[in-house]
Amino acid sequence: MDVAVESRVESDRIGVARKVKAYFALTKPRVVELLLVTTVPTMILAAGGIPNLWLVVATVIGGYMSAGSAGAFNCYIDRDIDRVMRRTKNRPLVTGELSDREALVFAWALGIASVLVLGFFTNWLAAGLSVAAILLYVVFYTLILKRRTPQNIVWGGVAGCMPVLIGWAAVTGSLDWAPFILFGIIFLWTPPHYWPLSMKYRADYQEAGVPMLAVVRGRAVVGLQVILYAWAMVACSLLLIPVAHMGLLYTAVSLVAGGWFIYESHRLYNLAIRHETVSPMRVFHGSIAYLTLIFLAVAIDPLLPFLHFA
């Protein structure tokens, strides 16, 4: 029996609960969660305090739907290489829990719904930025860059920076320098976040024919690039202090967390050039901790004057 036919038959036999879980998995919730962590703090900074809670809810829901749509399109387009890689072997289109058609319809429906939610409940600038984010991830990254160049994650990472612009636009109806600095932090964070992961799964990417930097250049080059991007990321994070008038909390967190991440980046490189056993996932998980701390500081810093007053 043809693989596509087998997948469709298996999909038809799956119960409702498992089907819903499969659709949820198609949105790549772990990736979306990280993106939304950056959205709410940006909205607090834009408002100079707690923004309208209904606006936050609408932005978070619309943002999740937008990012989930992009993730679903990505799973549909990459279903061939997902079947090859161990890291992605449990995705719904590989296991047969969803058919190709179900995934594609879901991706389109979620994307259209996200634009309507953001347009009607926030503003149309935020909705337009959401459309741009989907196109950047699906067309620019997945279709054009991913299988052609080791710079795929660098420029493809632009899509992951869009939630801060969407969050700022939802609150103010416009854009300013501060959200673009936040955009720059995430842009420079993406390579040192993702390249260590590609080091761990180098064999998978090589077998799938995806030219990640770790595949085409090796560990030492990856380690050096992680260092360069880490330094640039920390420098960019410090620009927010004068531009957005950030206080002592954000300043301290950006310096301490940034210094720690730079140390971990240098450690990875030093182990790589000495041909010792490296722990790329230590840097990968460290990058998540770094971004979380930075955006927690972005959220809390504007609220400190109100807390002091209370």
Per run of 10 residues, the mean pLDDT along the chain (length 310 residues) is: 50 75 89 82 96 96 94 94 86 91 96 97 97 94 89 87 96 97 96 88 83 84 93 98 96 97 94 82 93 96 76
- Whether residue 210 sits in one domain with residue 152: no
- Whether residue 158 sits in one domain with residue 27: yes
237 Cβ neighbours under 8 A, 6+ residues apart: 181, 185, 254, 258, 294
Give the separation between CA 193 and CA 288, rounded to whole angstroms: 7
**Residue 198: predicted pLDDT:** 85
**Residue 124: predicted pLDDT:** 97
4 domain residue, yes or no: no
- Whether residue 213 sits in one domain with residue 130: no
117 Cβ neighbours under 8 A, 6+ residues apart: 58, 61, 62, 65
Nearest to 160 by CA among 194, 117, 199: 194
83 domain residue, yes or no: yes
Of 120, 141, 175, the position where a domain reaches its end is 175
- Whether residue 140 sits in one domain with residue 225: no
3-state SS, residue 12: helix
**Residue 23: predicted pLDDT:** 93
- Whether residue 186 sits in one domain with residue 99: no
13 domain residue, yes or no: no
Q: Tell me the whole-structure pTM to 2 decimals.
A: 0.91
- Whether residue 301 sits in one domain with residue 190: yes
- Whether residue 168 sits in one domain with residue 57: yes
1 domain residue, yes or no: no
Q: Into how many domains does the chain fold?
A: 2
Of 156, 175, 194, the position where a domain reaches its end is 175
DSSP codes, 46-76: HHTSPPPHHHHHHHHHHHHHHHHHHHHHHHH
Q: What angle do CA 230, 233, 237 make, to 5 degrees?
A: 140
13 Cβ neighbours under 8 A, 6+ residues apart: none
Of 175, 210, 244, the position where a domain reaches its end is 175
In the numeric block, which tokens belong to residue 167?
Answer: 């969050």
Give the separation between CA 97 and CA 277, rounded to whole angstroms: 38
262 domain residue, yes or no: yes
In the numeric block, which tokens belong to residue 127?
Answer: 């909705």
**Residue 1: predicted pLDDT:** 46
- Whether residue 77 sits in one domain with residue 220: no
81 domain residue, yes or no: yes
Range of the domain at 239: 176-310
- Whether residue 191 sits in one domain with residue 131: no
- Whether residue 230 sits in one domain with residue 131: no
- Whether residue 206 sits in one domain with residue 284: yes
DSSP run (H or E) holding 18: helix 16-26
**Residue linked to tokens 């996200």:** 114
225 domain residue, yes or no: yes
Give the separation between CA 152 and CA 2, rounded to whole angstroms: 32
- Whether residue 165 sits in one domain with residue 24: yes
CATH of the domain at 73: 1.10.357.140
9 domain residue, yes or no: no
